[in-house]
């Protein structure tokens, strides 16, 4: 089973982590199940970009993003060519390394 390495994020995952994720499982759900509370304001419906991650290693092993995901990524702060929405990204068969951006556009919790 492949692993996801999560680079340290000051509030969501301060020490970083490494979790095992079955191929085919959506990344955001696996992260939250493992206690890594990645934001998901739209409840995994590809209607925001709060679960934006940057895939630092293993990007090409993931299934391609569809048009809906690409449209939402246009709204993400600091999106890069390696950006994905973790609620739409199904784990491939190879290990990946992700970075959770420091900032995101979360209109549900804008003033928190």
Kindly list the domain boundaries of the chain, sorted by start residue.
3-99
What's CA 85's distance to the chain center, in Å?
Answer: 5
57 within 8 A of 97, measured Cβ to Cβ: yes
Tens digits of residue pLDDT in 4-27: 999 999 999 999 999 999 999 999
User: What pLDDT score does 77 carry?
Assistant: 86
pLDDT band at 110 (very low <50, low <70, confident <90, very high): very low
In this structure, CATH architecture of domain 3-99: Roll (3.10)
What single DSSP character describes residue 62? S
Tens digits of residue pLDDT in 56-104: 999 999 999 999 999 999 989 889 999 999 999 999 999 999 999 987 6
Rounded Cα distance, 93 and 25, in Å: 11
What single DSSP character describes residue 9? B
The proportion of the chain whose per-residue pLDDT surpasses 90, expressed as a percent, equals 79
pLDDT: which is higher, 112 or 63: 63
Among residues 104, 23, 39, the alpha carbon closest in space to that of 31 is found at 39
User: What pLDDT score does 106 carry?
Assistant: 55
User: With a threshold of 0.85, does the pTM exceed it?
Assistant: yes
């Amino acid at each position: 089973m492949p692993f996801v390495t999560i680079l340290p994020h000051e509030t969501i995952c301060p020490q970083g982590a490494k979790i095992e994720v079955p191929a085919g499982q959506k990344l955001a759900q696996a992260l939250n199940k493992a206690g890594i509370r990645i934001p998901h304001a739209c409840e995994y419906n590809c209607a925001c970009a709060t679960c934006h991650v940057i895939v630092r290693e293993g990007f090409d092993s993931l299934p391609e993003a569809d048009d809906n995901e690409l449209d939402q990524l246009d709204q993400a702060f600091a999106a890069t060519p390696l950006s994905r929405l973790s609620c739409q990204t199904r784990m491939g068969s190879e290990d990946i390394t992700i970075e959770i951006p420091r900032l995101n556009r979360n209109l549900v919790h804008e003033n928190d």
